[in-house]
Amino acid sequence: TLNIKAATTFYKGSEFTISDVSLDKPKHGEVLVRISASGICHTDLRARDQLRPVPLPIILGHEGSGIVEEIGEGVSNVQPGDHVIMSFNSCGTCNDCLKAKPYACENFPHLNFSGKMKDGTYRHSIDNEPVNTFFGQSSFATYSIVSDRSIVKVDKEVPIELLGPLGCGIQTGSGTVMNKLKPDVGESIAIFGCGTVGLSALMAAKLLDCGEIIAIDVHENRLNLAKELGATHTINAKEVDVEERILEITKTGVDYAVDSSSVPEVLTQATNSLSQSGTVAAVGGAAIGTMAKVDMGKLLFERTITGVIEGNSIPQVFIP
């Protein structure tokens, strides 16, 4: 057993408490990682506030990066000393995993939100009482146990402390555009919400040579950054009618939209802003039961709404 420090969430909405935690050794198919840094994602905060229900107490964090300290039996893809990013967990045996769609793993909820490892047991404890794991990694800690299916080996030349958000936020935004929507050169796209996920989607759109790249937010500083990163137009949703402005820019509506906000009214706006055969990708971590209004008459004319998990990414392929 290893004695570690971890930012622990004990009750709904609680402040993160730095706790002394016992961490068991890695079991079959697991890797012990010394954490260099961790991103923080809205999903962590939604879990803390129980908008995404998870068992408590729990150690959150799912954008960890670090150095492999020890490997369990059966692990062959990394070795001690390797620099790694940790991403979502998947089972590898369900229909979707076997179709190379680990992001759609049928066991995704259990492996990432149940608080337990794949074998149904715990790795963390405080005073011999189990503490739940989040996203198969709990990266808000000095060390983490993670499945070898979640591990992405990266070049040691790249500063490891910068790489954690590639495992979720950056992968989700950029992958949504590059892996799921796949816009052709010159097609238009609107990015609703310019946080990490939205800006990552925007950079991917720029990389793929989209035409109009429209960034929508309510914070002027985010919109300024969006312009710096490749937005051709920015819209402050507090100041103008977003749907009207998008129609002014594109004449016909956008070919694609990405909603990273998880706000129902924003998904409605994004859908209404589509061209006749446009597609909107909903990627925000909305709470289960969140409902948005959709004009079914507009959907009838070949518009599409799709959900996207982790940018349709196979982390070991996409992140490098």
Local structure of residue 141 (DSSP, 8 states): B
230 and 114 together in one domain: no
Q: For 194-220, what is the mean pLDDT?
A: 97
**Percentage with pLDDT > 70 across the chain:** 100
**pLDDT tens per residue, range 36-95:** 999 999 899 999 999 889 999 999 999 999 999 999 999 999 999 999 999 999 999 999
216 and 141 together in one domain: no
Determine, yes or no, domain membership for 141: yes
Distance CA 214, CA 188 (A): 8
Determine, yes or no, domain membership for 64: yes
- Looking from the CA of 235 toward its CB, the CA atoms found within 13 Å total 22
Determine, yes or no, domain membership for 318: no
Range of the domain at 196: 170-312
Q: What is the pLDDT of residue 82?
A: 98
For the cut 90, the answer to whether the pLDDT of residue 284 exceeds it is no
**Which residue, 138, 166, 194, sits at the end of a domain?**
166
Q: What is the pLDDT of residue 285?
A: 79
Q: What is the pLDDT of residue 12?
A: 96
**Which residue, 120, 146, 166, sits at the end of a domain?**
166
14 and 115 together in one domain: yes
262 and 293 together in one domain: yes
Distance CA 65, CA 35 (A): 6
Distance CA 115, CA 227 (A): 40
Strands (E) located in the chain: 2-9, 17-23, 30-38, 58-59, 64-71, 83-86, 124-126, 129-133, 143-147, 151-154, 189-192, 213-217, 233-236, 254-259, 274-282, 304-307
Determine, yes or no, domain membership for 317: no
Strands 151-154 and 213-217: unpaired
Determine, yes or no, domain membership for 319: no
Q: What is the pLDDT of residue 286?
A: 81
Of 288, 38, 232, 28, whose CA–CA distance to 216 is shortest? 232
Average pLDDT, the chain: 96
Of 51, 56, 65, 67, whose CA–CA distance to 16 is shortest? 56
Q: For 146-154, what is the mean pLDDT?
A: 97
CB burial of residue 194 (10 Å; 0-12, 13-18, 19+): buried
196 and 293 together in one domain: yes
Q: Which amino acid is at 152?
A: V
Distance CA 138, CA 154 (A): 20
159 and 174 together in one domain: no
Determine, yes or no, domain membership for 73: yes
Report residue 188 as tokens: 């238009």
94 and 145 together in one domain: yes
For the cut 90, the answer to whether the pLDDT of residue 287 exceeds it is no
Of 268, 267, 272, 295, whose CA–CA distance to 283 is shortest? 267
Domain of 291, CATH number, reads 3.40.50.720
Angle (deg, nearest 10), helices 242-250 and 264-272: 30
Q: For 247-254, what is the mean pLDDT?
A: 97
Q: For 121-127, what is the mean pLDDT?
A: 96
Q: 10 Å Cβ neighbour count for 13?
A: 9
145 and 185 together in one domain: no
How many domains are contained in the chain? 2
DSSP annotation string for 216-257: EES-HHHHHHHHHTT-SEEEETTTS-HHHHHHHHHSS-EEEE
The answer to whether 108 and 88 have CB atoms below 8 angstroms apart is yes
Q: What is the pLDDT of residue 288?
A: 77
Domain of 97, CATH number, reads 3.90.180.10
Q: For 141-163, what is the mean pLDDT?
A: 97
Distance CA 154, CA 85 (A): 7
